[in-house]
Structure 1
């Protein structure tokens, strides 16, 4: 473990994000043995104007005006910072030299706020942990006072996305190259990191688990009128990550099966033909505390992932959540999914999905102890193990230097 350090964490996700966050989980785990400052995203001009009524924007504005404190204590060793600055919205600047000039200005504004907060907290020789933020954090290793080591953490291939493509690819590569080490949550992303920094490692992934109740929870009200078998998916329904056409194909091919989709939809899903199919049921967003109630009722869990530059190297966090309940899982075969190969049905194309769902439904109740094996495999993916792997690599690297 990394112990007795002062750690500054800068990333894309604020502490008050509504969805699960690797960065938050890692911050909490690191704070068990270290003093941690978690930096929320500073407001940028466009967000301040366009999302002025958003609750998170309102909170940042209150801090900017001095109406609320910029530092919040989460526990005795973890603090969050709302930087009292506004960054320029520069992503559409087409010229690299001009973008870099303006980005340095943004980084200086952010660094000023972080240095001020770190001084108030008594930070010395901090370790800088950057979560996938190759824009706002690009110059921070040089601009933050006394930084003693930088870890760049990559969990998504963001540079494959239109918003990040113009400047992201060159900046991420340069940031990885100058970092002390690169940590990734999949073998695919670690291999990508090693192209620019030989000290790039797959540290695995943690997952938050609730408890499996002694008796099955009550059937959620909106599942009661849906006939079995229930083939379910829990999570955001985003067309860049999920294959809408694949879901449609297997729903049409299996009209006697009910396909239950739990989560918010993007525009593509909202406008899709799936809403016209009688055996497809959109149940909308649910509180995180209720998701286990739905998973526990599914006969088969799905991860119909789209295969593209963004998803091919992603660690499928929801698979652990499914396996924790001992459920049979049918998922798209990707490099990151192959570590689950002994516990899930991996598929390539609609036909193999149909066969795998039938096979999963054909499992006997005990399935030779598979439900318990699935649960134990999921439970091996803890944030403690993930941070221990991070610490092992970082400590070994420091000894070499």
Structure 2
């Protein structure tokens, strides 16, 4: 069957995550999928002054500096029809500016600096009739549709309510709606975000979440990661970034304290609050650090129960964590915090309102028959959430919109 995907376009991708980010990224997956049928240019985040000062030794910062000094090419080809751009510019750090008019003035300067680099790259690659795909970049992408003459269409992708994040909340609540109104179309990965987007652009559609399942079905069985050697079962595991704005530390503490015979295994990078948390003093809690995207299923395979102890706030209430599909495709029982976005998983996961619910539901999950039909049903449900399906939905809406114009 022929893939239903946007085809034959030159596509420009901007977002919050650079191509060389260590963890997985929706933006990267979308760009990779689109590059099968289109030419794609993926823009890495340009350096800003504060990042340059604070994180000069970071490998990603060093990569941008080498491009800036013209020691390396700014355009790098990573596939037959896929390039990345390391913009040769430094942006002003603007988020601290409290006054909207001053912020907008400096932010427009930043956008112009970015646009100058992107325009040069588009010319060098011969990109025409460009479709701009913007993944939650409502600061540095605010004026790009106006500053890039080759751009004829813009799809804004809202996969997180990022505007409510403490870093963005000062200006995000006005800038994201502004960008949504400018877009040809807005796409989201949950009903909650679709309702939010539709308030600002009637052409807003929920295309659900995509997931790359190829790495979950290796030719040989997974082996137990050496990092998990010696950890006793049952293993209650979480895979992903350990960030206090998204996860409820108290839930994890309660699980570990209530059932010392369980091993709580956490795989992913930690923020400062997690590094200082009481969890590090609990003997049955194991921090295994970050891992590569390709090893994610290897760890999950050896979890007995998978967690998503989400903190409920404006940013997470409509969030669709793709880790749920990664858990489910390996037929794992999953215990999560109940939110509006979790309704679509009813019948496949255990949902909790309190930390006490977590312990009760984990016990139910541990008691499951490993050969039950529910395990197979979880896998089949997850497999309906591919990137091909998600971007196929986007294509259907986009083509209908273009035909109606």
Q: How high is the TM-score relative to the length of structure 1?
A: 0.96
Give the SS at the match of 1:66: coil
Preserved contact between residue 185 and residue 203 of structure 1 (Cα < 8 Å)? yes
Give the SS at the match of 1:94: coil
CA distance in 1 between partners of 2:330 and 2:339 (Å)? 22
Alignment of structure 1 residues 116-195 onto 2, 5 Å: 116-195=120-199
Runs of 5+ consecutive residues of structure 2 not aligned to the other structure: none
Report the Cα offset of residue 364 of structure 1.
Answer: 1.1
Report the Cα offset of residue 241 of structure 1.
Answer: 0.9
Alignment of structure 1 residues 81-120 onto 2, 5 Å: 81-120=85-124
Q: 1:213 to 1:90 in 2, by over 3 A?
A: closer
Report the Cα offset of residue 213 of structure 1.
Answer: 5.1
Q: Report the equivalent of 2:223.
A: 218
CA distance in 2 between partners of 1:87 and 1:335 (Å)? 37
Preserved contact between residue 336 and residue 350 of structure 2 (Cα < 8 Å)? yes
Matching of residue 353 in structure 1 with residue 319 in structure 2: no
Alignment of structure 1 residues 218-367 onto 2, 5 Å: 218-367=223-372
Preserved contact between residue 236 and residue 264 of structure 1 (Cα < 8 Å)? yes
Q: Please, which moves more after superposition, 86-95 or 382-391?
A: 86-95
Preserved contact between residue 212 and residue 325 of structure 1 (Cα < 8 Å)? no
Matching of residue 25 in structure 1 with residue 16 in structure 2: no
Q: How many positions carry a matched residue from both structures?
A: 400
Preserved contact between residue 216 and residue 330 of structure 2 (Cα < 8 Å)? no
The one-character-per-residue Cα deviations of 1:17-39 (angstroms, maximum 9, x if unpaired) are 11101111101111111111111
CA distance in 1 between partners of 2:276 and 2:345 (Å)? 33
Q: 1:53 to 1:213 in 2, by over 3 A?
A: closer
Q: Report the equivalent of 2:375.
A: 371
Give the SS at the match of 1:163: coil
Matching of residue 77 in structure 1 with residue 84 in structure 2: no
Q: CA RMSD in A?
A: 1.5
Q: How high is the TM-score relative to the length of structure 2?
A: 0.95
Report the Cα offset of residue 214 of structure 1.
Answer: 7.2
CA distance in 2 between partners of 1:65 and 1:99 (Å)? 28
CA distance in 1 between partners of 2:379 and 2:358 (Å)? 23
Give the SS at the match of 2:116: helix
Matching of residue 390 in structure 1 with residue 394 in structure 2: yes
Report the Cα offset of residue 294 of structure 1.
Answer: 2.1
Report the Cα offset of residue 285 of structure 1.
Answer: 2.2
Q: 1:168 to 1:359 in 2, by over 3 A?
A: same
Preserved contact between residue 39 and residue 82 of structure 2 (Cα < 8 Å)? yes
Runs of 5+ consecutive residues of structure 1 not aligned to the other structure: none
Matching of residue 58 in structure 1 with residue 82 in structure 2: no
CA distance in 1 between partners of 2:394 and 2:268 (Å)? 32
CA distance in 1 between partners of 2:231 and 2:403 (Å)? 59
Give the SS at the match of 2:347: coil
